[in-house]
A and B are shown apart, each in its own frame.
Chain A
Amino acid sequence: KAGVTQTPRYLIKTRGQQVTLSCSPISGHRSVSWYQQTPGQGLQFLFEYFSETQRNKGNFPGRFSGRQFSNSRSEMNVSTLELGDSALYLCASSLEAGGFSYNSPLHFGNGTRLTVT
């Protein structure tokens, strides 16, 4: 099976712009979670989608949003970019919501490195 695919791999944007990141989960996985990773804050949970519904949301401003399509692919959008949004954005998929399964933990993509200038 193909792994979790995130596109693009690298992205450079300017403050005030918006950006959309894409994630294709492992075939058959219905849950997609998004994380932001920065050196200072570590790995922070953004949100999780399961069968097109947002199941959990982290403590991020409304500028961060996401959605999941019927084929389980997911996108996250960040509007009005700020310098502090520079980070590695990781997507992870699992069979069950929140990686809550003895048989299916989270499978991560290699992330999208976003730089905001």
Chain B
Amino acid sequence: SQQGEEDPQALSIQEGENATMNCSYKTSINNLQWYRQNSGRGLVHLILIRSNEREKHSGRLRVTLDTSKKSSSLLITASRAADTASYFCAPEGAQKLVFGQGTRLTINP
């Protein structure tokens, strides 16, 4: 299966702290994408990292990819209340993206 599995399932931190979420997958991929979903809304694409890249930054987001371990991590620095959401990884394989259960991130004021 191409599905990513996020860990932890839930994460609660204080505003200003950093949040790290992990994703593991089982088969070879071409790239891996991270998405965010606010409650009751659609998913929003955050960042895409290619299989030949090891690290990528976008604003307060930092994504790493280790293809040898079949894992990725998403780091959100200096968290804000607005970062409260569910985060999904989607390994991109043959023809379709398959999403995991996501990590539910809560930022406490």
Closest to A40 in B: B101
Task: Tell whether A111 pairs with B41 under 8 Å between CB atoms, given A43-B88, A99-B33.
Answer: yes
Interface residue A25 (Cβ < 8 Å from any Cβ of B): no
| B43: chain A residues within 8 A (beta carbon) | 43, 90, 92, 106, 108
Interface size grouping (class) on chain B = 20 to 34
> What does the 1/0 interface line of A75-102 toward B look like (CB < 8 Å)?
0000000000000101010000111101
Q: Is B109 part of the contact surface with A, judged by Cβ < 8 Å?
A: no
Number of residue pairs A-B, CB distance < 8 angstroms: 66
Size of interface on A: residues with Cβ below 8 Å to B: 25
Chain A contacts of B33 at CB under 8 A? 99, 105-106
Q: Is the beta-carbon distance between A102 and B42 smaller than 8 angstroms?
A: no
Q: How far is the CA of A55 from the CA of B30 in the complex (A)?
A: 19
Whether the Cβ atoms of B100 and A106 lie closer than 8 Å is no
Per the bound structure, the CA–CA distance linking A108 and B97 in Å amounts to 13
Query: With A and B bound together, what is the CA distance between A35 and B37 in angstroms?
Result: 14
> Does residue A64 face the partner (Cβ distance < 8 Å to B)?
no
Contact B96 A45 (CB under 8 A): yes
> Would B98 and A45 count as touching, CB distance under 8 A?
yes
- The 6 nearest A-B residue pairs measured at CB: A108-B42, A98-B96, A43-B99, A42-B101, A105-B45, A98-B95
Q: A43-B43, A98-B97, A99-B92 are in contact. List 4 more A-B contacts (CB 8 A).
A: A43-B88, A45-B97, A98-B95, A108-B43
